[in-house]
Chain A
């Protein structure tokens, strides 16, 4: 173990060896060259949380500008860059990679009892593509003309070479292409891992819901992301190769970009959301000491959401006048049904449980409440006449911020829940609870005034707005909420520092249900020294509480 053995016999068997971490380079070089899913997952986690902080900082500047009707914090040109990059960073560089690159990468292989991802090197490639894509996109701030400034949706022709001539736009396209390939490779990897590397006994209907959701997300990634990649290549060709795919002057169709973008963009909403649904579905039952309520219904709800999500893209385009409204309306409304099933199943999982209000559980409940608000307001937007009324106003901004802030709360729940498993140490619960209340109340203070000001007719993406005292009051409140959310995010960083290597977590601090709680914290290289019998979706619970098996409908105890 002193010098790395360059013995060919050991080399060739290195990946099967129980102590493989003793081979190869050490320290930072080990980190950089690692193909261990836990190391890659941690890199993803750190990078994406950093992106959350950067995107959040931009949001604070935006809210600073909007606290007054005639804000002079930034110019109109800078403002356009700010919200474009805020949206782009949050969607492309934080939410997605955090959802399917960070915790998924660490947890999915462990939950199914696998030693690693199916393609560890492809996994490493995914991360490096993601990191280079993120850097590429952020470099836009440092070029002449500034970063991309046409909104995170990049509608043509505003994003073409005539209206967005700067290099910032090209860096935005390049960054998206790189992170897009990263996502596709992760999708391939998770699919292969889930289908081929499950432990003996872990049938599909014994997979934890988090793993189920990630499998479905991976399939959605494979269906949706190549479309975006193709769309971006065509946009690039329009900008630099003289094609006219999206420009009317050359015989192209601008609205084609919207179709392509949203054909990726709406499945993307669920690609972002489903992993967080999965996290919460793991957390709520564990802290209620009950199995997840309606496990099979939960799986079918996930599958239904995924299927419907491929047929709803044009609900972003109701006011274009060029889409078949009733079809996209009913498809969008129907998504409320499986989503509602999930909500009721989360409540059912808590019902008659023994709820332990750890920070993770508080965040999970905060997610459910915030998502309820975001979900209900989404139903309005599925109705074309109501969309004509609210489209491109702050009502829509408030709706999707309720949803994505719910996802942030869910992500925090995931970090507090799995953090001890990943690092081996507990996070401070007291700081965590302060962080939760700030984030939860801040989210509502942030979004609720936006709903009202949107119904009052304030459009989105405005650097300045008419001097209406009511609009100003509402915007000021929204800015206060944004500051609360900002402080809560900083508290998370404080918590990591404050609880650094203080309280060892042990293998199973929460009396968990799934396989990751059966192994050590942090898990060894290749994850397991032994596995329990797997006879349900809760193998660790079954092992620790053999007398308390999940009951089918109508069954009594014992």
Chain B
């Protein structure tokens, strides 16, 4: 019994190639044409504008990965099932097929170029630094976070026993400046689909624009020593009014006192103070 469909010799080989080309080209056209109705491919729905751009890029990459993966896995399975050793004959010793080799070199190059273009477009969105009045410093230390607010008294500090909460307004561009006083830490909020290192000696800046109020889970993602596993923080996204009220709570006499105490603690944490030398305000571009 013939497991392998043996194509007739000669000209039909070309049509086989053409069919293969169509099999690759059609799904790629599909990716480009279909919009946002794609599945999530395992990613969480992000709660920031930039997170959503990343999410769509994730979907685009995933469609490509699924198609290429299915095609390649299909070919492997076909070969494994169809060409089991049946007798002791020696198969045709073909070693080269130039057009085929050119195809599977050129098509991946085109796919890579497409992925790269999409990457650059999203990267520029994610790293854009629009002008904004809301500016928060996130200072990482072993093992906790201190959040201070530019032009305001407000401060939030916490460690492994008392999780700190960064409060930020919804629907507003918020500039975050991440620094570290000791080792490398990682600022990561899973629902924002974004992370950035807190590097000693570097002020790393990026913008977050939350689309929804709520409290989100944040965590240090870069190994920073003994209590790295529990170096948590929270991000509380509130309405603009709530944000104003929260900021104002630090302007009352009691609030001032609390803020002063918290800043003193933060300053102590930064006693092994590290001078900041490099200002990074848009990725590395």
- Chain A contacts to B: CB under 8 angstroms: 76-77, 79-80, 150-151, 155, 157-158, 163, 248-249, 253-255, 288-297, 319-326, 329-330, 333-334, 336-337, 340-341, 343-344, 347-348, 350-357, 365, 368-369, 372-373, 376-377, 379-380, 383-386, 388-389, 391-393, 451-452, 455-457, 459-466, 545, 548-553, 555, 557
CA distance A32 to B68 in the complex (A): 50
Chain B, residues 188-210, CB within 8 Å of chain A (1/0): the string is 10110111110111101110000
Q: Could you tell me which residues of chain B, from 205 to 239, have a CB within 8 Å of some CB in chain A?
A: 205-206, 217, 219-230
User: Is B58 touching A368 in the complex (CB atoms < 8 A)?
Assistant: no
Does the CB pair B194–A388 fall under 8 Å? Answer: yes
Stretch among B28-36, B247-255, B273-281 lining the A interface:
B273-281
B221 and A393: CB pair below 8 A? yes
From A300, which residue of chain B is reached at the shortest CB distance? B105
Partner of B95, one of A320, A323, A452, A551: A551
23 residue pairs A–B, Cβ–Cβ below 8 Å: A151-B223, A157-B184, A248-B200, A291-B95, A293-B97, A319-B195, A320-B197, A321-B280, A322-B202, A330-B116, A344-B101, A347-B75, A354-B87, A355-B80, A372-B69, A383-B122, A388-B193, A389-B194, A456-B190, A457-B217, A462-B228, A466-B217, A552-B96
Chain B, Cβ-Cβ closest to A295 = B95
**Residues of A close to B120: CB separation below 8 A:** 326, 329
A391 and B190 CA atoms in complex are apart in Å by 11
Task: Give the docked Cα–Cα distance between A187 and B252 (Å).
Answer: 69
Classify the interface of chain B: helix, strand, loop or mixed.
mixed
Q: How far is the CB of A379 from chain B (nearest CB, A)?
A: 7
List the B side residues contacting A391 at CB < 8 Å: 186, 188, 195, 221
Determine whether the beta carbon of B199 is less than 8 Å from that of A336: no
Instruction: Assess whether B108 is in contact with A369, with CB atoms less than 8 Å apart.
Output: no
Q: Flag B67-96 by CB within 8 Å of A: 1 or 0 each.
A: 011001101100110011111011111111
Q: Provide the bound-state CA to CA distance between A158 and B200, in Å.
A: 11
**Interface pair B197/A321, CB less than 8 Å apart:** yes
B98 within 8 A of A: yes
Shortest beta-carbon distance, A297 to chain B, in Å? Answer: 5
Contact A379 B115, beta carbon cutoff 8 Å: yes
Given A255-B202, A320-B199, A459-B219, answer yes or no on A354-B91 (Cβ-Cβ < 8 Å): yes
| B116 & A333 in contact (Cβ 8 Å cutoff) | yes
In whole angstroms, how far apart are the Cα atoms of A320 and B206 in the complex? 12
Contacts of A549 in B (CB 8 A): 93
Closest residue to A301 on the B side, CB-wise? B105
Asked whether, in the complex, the Cβ of A389 is within 8 Å of the Cβ of B193, the reply is yes
List the A residue with the shortest CB-CB distance to B81. A355
Residues of B at the A interface (CB closer than 8 Å) are 4, 42-44, 51, 53-54, 57-58, 61, 64-65, 68-69, 72-73, 75-76, 79-80, 83-87, 89-98, 100-101, 104-105, 108-109, 112, 115-116, 118-120, 122-123, 126, 182-184, 186, 188, 190-191, 193-197, 199-202, 204-206, 217, 219-230, 272, 274-275, 277-278, 280, 283-285
Q: Are B83 and A372 in contact (CB under 8 A)?
A: no
B104 touches A385 (CB 8 A): no
Interface contact A369-B42, CB-CB below 8 Å: no
Complex contact A457–B91 (CB within 8 A)? no
Instruction: Report the separation of the CA atoms of residues A480 and B14 in the bound assembly, to the nearest whole angstrom.
Output: 48
B230 touches A290 (CB 8 A): no
Are B93 and A551 interface neighbours, CB within 8 A? yes
Contact A322 B280 (CB under 8 A): yes
Residue of A79, A155, A373 ringed by the most chain B CB atoms within 10 A: A155
Q: Given A321-B280, A380-B58, A393-B221, verify A369-B126 contact (CB < 8 Å).
A: no
| Minimum C-beta distance from B113 to chain A (A) | 9
> CB-CB < 8 A to A372: which residues of B?
69, 72-73, 76
B42 near A455 with CB under 8 A, answer yes
A289 vs B85: C-alpha distance when bound (angstroms): 9
Instruction: Verify B79–A249 contact, CB threshold 8 A.
Output: no
